[in-house]
Amino acid sequence: MSANSAARRPLSPLVKVALSLAFVALVFIAAGTVRWTAFWVLLGFYVVTTGGWMLWLKRRDPGLLKERMTGAARPDVKRWDRTIIRVYTVLLSVMLIVAAMDAVRFRWSHVPRVAQGLALLVLFAAWSLVIWAFRVNAFLAEVVRIQTDRGHAVCTTGPYRIVRHPMYAAVILTILGVPVLLGSLYALILAGMIVVLFILRTALEDRMLQAELPGYAEYARAVRWKLVPKVW
């Protein structure tokens, strides 16, 4: 077995959970306390929504769930997307640690409670968009690849009638909402970097789909906007 193939082997669910718990502990260490209500709210939101989504998807479309859990290990994932995912993981980790240091340990900035509450509503709105996209798109993979093994076809219903990449729009809303919910303006700097990264990913994926997925170029001519109607 080559080093590259070994590197693509997906992590087991147990290892993923262990790594997630270790990172949560690191964030609390950066905060200097576990008495951080906003972060507990974020964790609760993540556990409930992600857990519910996985149970729902397991019943509705187990093939898509398997694709999202194992797709990153496939050899046909675009190399540029692997790089983007690595950069995103680093930026997201740094963003949460900066938020902990800013909002709790050093209190460099201040976010009003009203703004934090509105940010939570933004997360719910973004998650609603995510679910809408999953209801209509059976090929909503976690990584960028043409899913020829699954009969990849263009999705033109639901939110895809409005923009071509509603999932990325939801991710961007979430990334901008999290620092505000946590009470950190400095973390918004990292969030901005992630937004730029996802705009780049959107552009690269859209270009790839127009070149490689049958019917997508025609769809792109019918639905002009990639992320935001009337903007881009």
What domains are defined for the chain? Answer: 34-222 (1.20.120.1630)
Strand runs (DSSP E) across the chain, as ranges? none
Print pLDDT tens along the chain (232 aa): 333 443 456 677 788 889 999 999 999 999 999 999 999 999 999 999 999 999 999 999 999 999 998 888 899 999 999 999 999 999 999 999 999 999 999 999 999 999 999 999 999 999 999 999 999 999 999 999 999 999 999 999 999 999 999 999 999 999 999 999 999 999 999 999 999 999 999 999 999 999 999 999 999 999 999 999 999 9
The reported pLDDT for the residue numbered 17 is: 85
Number of DSSP helices (H) and strands (E) in the chain, helices first: 9, 0
CB atoms within 10 A of CB 73: 14
Exposure string for 37-68, b = 16+ CB within 10 A, e = fewer: ebbeebeebeeebeeeeeeebeeebeebbebb
11 in Cβ contact with 89 (< 8 Å): no
Which token pair is 200? 């780049």
Model's pTM, two decimal places?
0.93
Task: Return d(Cα 156, Cα 216) in angstroms, integer.
Answer: 9
CB atoms within 10 A of CB 31: 22
Task: Return d(Cα 100, Cα 39) in angstroms, integer.
Answer: 9
Q: What is the 3-state secondary structure (H, E, C) of 63-123?
A: HHHHHHHHHHHCCCCCHHHHHHHHHHHHHHHHHHHHHHHHHHHHCCCCCCHHHHHHHHHHH
